[in-house]
Amino acid sequence: MTQDELKKAVGWAALKYVESDSIVGVGTGSTVNHFIDALATIKADIEGAVSSSEASAARLKAAGIPVFDLNSVDSLSVYVDGADEINHHKEMIKGGGAALTREKIVAAVAKKFVCIVDESKQVDILGAFPLPVEVIPMARSYVARELVKLGGDPVYREGVITDNGNVILDVYNLKILDPKTLEKQINNIVGVVTVGLFAARGADTVLVGTQTGVNTIE
Ligand SMILES: O=C[C@H](O)[C@H](O)[C@H](O)COP(=O)(O)O
């Protein structure tokens, strides 16, 4: 199977975590796009979705699924999203598609985070994928200098503005041995909006697409 077929397999497998008559938290990316396609087939059974990006909101609406503002929703039973890397503790690097801030917000509201990945995303140690950090534009150089002090090599993602009007620094050459501590340290840098380390709130369930089928890690 191709990587996209593995993504499709986990996207469809995530349907079983969707509760009838619920509002579903929906992430962003090529793997989630398959989940949205799957969700469209049961749209009559759900109330709608809360989206983590303008891109996913447009895809949901095009599929005929109502999209709600998070402020009008008290709770979400499930949030389904992909990842750029995930370790054996269900901690992730996310934000390759620049949607990390809204993803972290929607994930925080959801009771259960189901992460859907193909097997290439599984790692022992996070950090080979450059860590995205969303930053207020005027703080970009200052935050970059602070990230160097933490041992990384930040690179400005040129030409990218997030849905929130901010910029992204991708931090290379990190070997993240303590994700929870690094998440806190980067969160504490003034000017940082969100770091794409999802460790304090990791995934609850991981669906991994492999050549021999979808593995579920609880
Ligand atoms: O900002 C993007 C998100 O964090 C995605 O979940 C992540 O980049 C994985 O995307 P994909 O499913 O396209 O590999």
98-117 residue pLDDT tens: 999 999 999 999 999 999 99
CB 80 less than 6 A from any atom of ligand 1: no
Q: What is the pLDDT of residues 38-55, one digit of tens each?
A: 999 999 999 999 999 999
Task: Return the best residue to mutate from 94, 116, 118, 122 for the ligand 1 pocket (most ligand atoms within 8 A of CB).
Answer: 94
Q: Measured between alpha carbons, how far is residue 109 from residues 28, 35, 88, 104, 133 in Å?
A: 16, 19, 23, 9, 21
- 190/159 Cα distance (integer angstroms): 23
User: How confident is the model at residue 118, as a pLDDT?
Assistant: 98
In ligand 1, the atom with minimum distance to the C-alpha of 103 is 4
Q: What is the CATH number of domain 3-123+200-217?
A: 3.40.50.1360
CB 96 less than 6 A from any atom of ligand 1: yes
Domain borders along the chain are 3-123+200-217, 131-195
Q: What share of the chain in percent tops pLDDT 70? A: 100
Q: Measured between alpha carbons, how far is residue 47 from residues 9, 18, 24, 71, 142 in Å?
A: 24, 11, 8, 16, 44
Q: What is the pLDDT of residues 15-34, one digit of tens each?
A: 999 999 999 999 999 999 99
- 59/85 Cα distance (integer angstroms): 24
User: How confident is the model at residue 127, as a pLDDT?
Assistant: 98
CB 85 less than 6 A from any atom of ligand 1: no
User: How confident is the model at residue 190, as a pLDDT?
Assistant: 98
Going from the Cα of 79 to the center of ligand 1, the distance in angstroms, rounded, reads 14
pTM assigned to the model? 0.96
**Structure confidence at residue 4 as a pLDDT band (50, 70, 90):** very high
**Structure confidence at residue 183 as a pLDDT band (50, 70, 90):** very high
Helix (H) or strand (E) holding 30: helix 30-40
Which residues lie below 8 Å from residue 74, measured CB to CB, with a gap of 6+?
Answer: none
Q: Which two tokens stand for residue 173?
A: 């050459």
**Structure confidence at residue 80 as a pLDDT band (50, 70, 90):** very high
Report yes or no: 49 and 27 within 8 Å, Cβ to Cβ. Answer: no
Average pLDDT over residues 157-180: 98
Phi-psi region of 72 (alpha: psi -120 to 50; beta: other; left: phi over 0): alpha
Q: Which two tokens stand for residue 193?
A: 């909006």
User: How confident is the model at residue 11, as a pLDDT?
Assistant: 98
- Binding residue ranges for substrate: 28-31, 81-84, 94-97, 121
In ligand 1, the atom with minimum distance to the C-alpha of 7 is 12
User: How confident is the model at residue 32, as a pLDDT?
Assistant: 98
- 25/92 Cα distance (integer angstroms): 18
- 113/116 Cα distance (integer angstroms): 10
User: How confident is the model at residue 161, as a pLDDT?
Assistant: 98
User: How confident is the model at residue 63, as a pLDDT?
Assistant: 98
- 66/177 Cα distance (integer angstroms): 41
User: How confident is the model at residue 110, as a pLDDT?
Assistant: 98
Task: Return the best residue to mutate from 8, 84, 91, 157 for the ligand 1 pocket (most ligand atoms within 8 A of CB).
Answer: 84
CATH 3.30.70.260 is right for the domain spanning 131-195: yes
Average pLDDT over residues 127-141: 98
- 46/26 Cα distance (integer angstroms): 13
